[in-house]
Amino acid sequence: MYYKDTSSPEPVYTLITGASQGLGKAFARECAKRKMNLLLVSLPGEDLPELCRDINQEFGVDVQCLEIDLAKPDGPSRVYHWAVSRYRVNMLINNAGIGGSRKYDECSIDYIDTIIMLNIRTVALLTKLLIGELKNHSRSYILNISSIAAFSPVPFKTVYPASKSFIYSFSRGLREELRETPVKVAVIHPGPIMTNPEVTERIRRQGMLARLTILPAEQVARIALKRSFKGHTVITPGFFNKLCKWMMKSLPVRLRISIASRALRRELDEKRKYVKKIKVA
């Protein structure tokens, strides 16, 4: 159950990055169901103002938004100054992130840099900037979004799982540092997430394991919030994701890499065939 901060005479807000679609959007709606006011952040051109109006009308909570590219060097500081200059923030959900399946030697420098800037730098800096504000509440929360991929190297994703390993390690260390403060830190490790039909179909093509571990975004958000508010540190939603996590930790690294490589090679081959069909058409 969400703990409402009654010590503050002013309204309190939950700040969610990457909030316009997918898991971020599910978090926004799930928080609104709990009557939590929202500060939503996403890239420009993703219909974020419309989402804010929809949530406000449906749930009756205050919803404010900022459209910004968090991968830019000044992104985290701009979000911080926008938020704390106007609102009291008692929860941060670091959801914004990017990934994909590509051969490393075929990736652009910009693609790799964006993953690092968004998945690592933004999380570390925005968290650092907001800790002072979060400490000012009788209870507050940080929820970081990692991935089941954090527990093993994954060929053809390479930088992405490494970035999610950072999120796991960062969250566990920060949780301990803040143990004597009102701030509770949690990290969730979802598997594949159903965000739209195209993404769902792409995940299903990765094989049986991906099909077993896939979950709707709404379910992942609901589990993450419920367990965060109960004080859990590490959250793995779904039985098959827990099983997958155990396997990734138990199997030899070489075997894990081989299994992942076969699945991702299949996905990339199908993607190339699809692109060729489009070009022919």
DSSP annotation of 117 reads I
Question: Which three-class secondary structure string do you get for 164-211?
Answer: HHHHHHHHHHHHHHCCCCCEEEEEECCCCEECCHHHHHHHHCCCHHHH
Give catalytic residues, as residue numbers: 160
What Cα–Cα distance (Å) separates residue 32 from each residue in 28, 58, 81? 6, 9, 23
Closest CA to 12 of 88, 83, 81: 88
The answer to whether the beta carbons of residues 48 and 65 sit under 8 Å apart is: yes
The answer to whether the beta carbons of residues 217 and 25 sit under 8 Å apart is: yes
The answer to whether the beta carbons of residues 90 and 142 sit under 8 Å apart is: no
As a dihedral over the C-alpha atoms of residue 103, residue 107, residue 111, residue 117, rounded to 10 degrees, the angle is 70
Question: How far from each other are the two terminal CA atoms of the chain, in whole angstroms?
Answer: 53
